Chain A
Amino acid sequence: MPLRLERQESVPALGLIAAPLVALVFTLIVGAIMFVALGHDPIRAFTIYFIEPLTDPWTLQEMVVKACPLLLIGIGLSFCYRANRWNIGAEGQYVAGAVAGSWLALATHGTDAGPWVLPAMLVLGAVGGALWALIPAFLRVRFGSSEILTSLMLVYVAQLGLDYLVRGPWRDPAGFNFPQSVTFDDVAIMPLIFEDGRMHAGIIIGLVAVIAATIVLGRTLIGYSIELAGTAPRAAAFAGFKESRVTYGVFAVSGALAGLAGIIEVAGPIGQIQPSISPGYGFTAIIAAMLGRLHPVGVLIASFVLALTYIGGEAAQISMRMPFDVTRVFQGTLLIAILAADVLVRYRIRRVEGASHA
């Protein structure tokens, strides 16, 4: 191999910002090839996919609605990934939070419960998600089991649990046997920000999370111990940061935020609990965390980019009859491109004289 990777001593700040942009451009090029391969005019497809959603106030609101869960989950995952803990089961924690919060909405349904219901639901959602996330954390701390696989397996378990509840005890008796609950009462519904449209108060919670996470990760000892646990675990141990405490901490935070995202989605745009409550937000948020370089503000921007792929995918599905999987391909390509672009920032590619072993 005449080419070689060389680790750079210092990473240029410009590169850190440029890499995600390069990744985006690469993804768009791959997207153009895909559109042509599917027999579509790439310019028309791009217009429908990425431009038109940005010109319509209604779809702009939809973008905020879609970005909200990605943002919340992505921030939580940033805590985990910074600490080198691989929680990939956020989708399950999202479902667990939705279930925990919905329980209260259904328990108070038809009573004259006051406006305390929604805040209590949000708290329950966060607690439910955190408890679900603490299972893989506990198994890792106590038994050394890989949190990657256990957190993922719990996604399937959570989804099946939700399915059971919605088809069984929680099914609306007056719902013609449809597997869905009653529509939540007004006190259990997220307030809308504008009269028309679906944008709800969840995004405010998301923005608060951005600010709080930025402070915790960047300015506190907790943030420092998370960073250190990820980059230099031995040094972290010498500094007296307990490994198990970091594991529990980051899983609890990311589970709570994922659970919060779940109950906000159910109490917001959906308005009732049903078997399918997520188009894969928990997995897409992994990409949001990566694309946002595990920084809350970066995750905020990345969430909007990924929300656009959802909205564009829906638009292309309707007006061009394109399968929704196009969106998954975009998202996968984007993650691949970010990972590759990252390397090109951290390393320099050098030409090497003479043959050397790969």
Chain B
Amino acid sequence: MLDVAILGAVLASVVAAATTLLLASLGELVAERAGTLNLGVEGMMIIGAAVGYATAYSSGSLLLGTLAAILAGTLLSLVFAGLAIWLAANQVASGLATTILGLGLAGLIGAPFVGTRLDAAPTLHLPVLSDLPVIGRMMFGQDAFVYASLVLLAVVAYGLVRTRTGLVLRAVGESHVAAHALGHPVRKIRTLAVMFGGACAGLAGAHLSLAYTPFWASDMTAGRGWIALALVVFSAWKPMWLLAGAYLFGAVSILQLHVQGFGLGIPSQLLSALPYLATIVALVAISALKRGQGAPASLGLPFVPDR
């Protein structure tokens, strides 16, 4: 039974690691389906982590912290939207600027809180389900962020394909000229999609600093925002594939930690590099197999209406 308990705990930590990635990549997927490539995910995530932690620590409320994180991610996404959508600046550069600014602001906001700790977000105990062996702990012994990420996934997967809003959003991403000719407000829709991405990245940051590792450290996102971006490519812009990708990467990042714990004589740095190497392998595999299929046709192109 001991082994079962350990397995359950390992699986639960895989879910926790995957949740940060899932939340952030879901938001980015929506932004990209509307045609904007926002490389600011890392910045929006870390500012969510910093603001979320600062608010939760000062107010004692995890909920307030989470809401503040969402707000912070959204506000920072507006910087990107202003540049890339309304001023039609280069999207790659605008996203990088957003990330650099986010890292700096997060460092400033978090500075007074270095060295403090919070109680992690509580796990929600569901009767019967949470007590099932192995999967009980993995699937039903999680904090609210995990459930929120799954609900959000369902909403995005359904909304993108089955609703009129989703159809318009995809149309804007596939051909902004056609969508504009049909009378859809291209830039407003893109701005909303980017804001959704910012909110999700902020929420992912809150999960990081309030539940996964409940303290503040600058650079605590450690490239997770970039991995989330890669996951969107890996998913071929399909929400359900994000789930698979996020959990695969969650598993890689947790397993390397456990292997480090066993001390098999493999340099710990090599193991720490695994998630990044896996990202490269995944990107190469997906582009070798599909050659960019599934990318929204207007992705990354600025839109300036001339009529």
Contacts and interface: CB of A to CB of B under 8 A. Distances in A.
Contacts of B187: 358
A5 B280 contact: no
Contacts of A168: 267
A323 B284 contact: no
A148 B101 contact: no
Interface in B104-150: 104-108, 111
B233 A146 contact: yes
Interface of A: 4-5, 7, 34, 38, 86, 88, 139, 143-146, 148-150, 152-154, 156-157, 160-161, 163-164, 167-168, 283, 286-287, 290, 323-333, 335-336, 339-340, 342-344, 347, 356-358
28 contacts: A5-B88, A38-B108, A139-B280, A143-B287, A154-B276, A154-B280, A160-B270, A160-B272, A160-B276, A164-B267, A167-B269, A290-B93, A324-B107, A325-B104, A326-B108, A329-B104, A329-B108, A332-B103, A332-B105, A335-B93, A335-B96, A335-B100, A336-B79, A339-B89, A340-B82, A340-B89, A357-B183, A357-B185
Contacts of B223: 152-153, 156
How big is the B interface, by class?
35 or more
B108 A323 contact: yes
Contacts of A152: 223, 226
Contacts, number: 154
Given A325-B105, A358-B188, 4 more contacts: A88-B96, A145-B283, A150-B284, A326-B104
Nearest to B106: A325
B87 A150 contact: no
A149 B108 contact: no
A164 B268 CA distance: 8
Contacts of B6: none
Contacts of B67: none
Interface string B265-307: 0010110110011011001100110011000000000001101
Nearest to B183: A357
A339 B226 contact: no
**Main SS of chain A's interface residues?**
helix
A328 B272 CA distance: 26
A149 B105 contact: no
Query: Nearest 6 A-B pairs (CB), nearest first?
Result: A325-B107, A328-B104, A332-B101, A329-B104, A332-B100, A164-B269
Contacts of B283: 139, 145-146, 149-150
B186 interface: yes
Given A149-B279, A164-B270, A358-B305, A328 B87 contact: no
Contacts of A342: 89
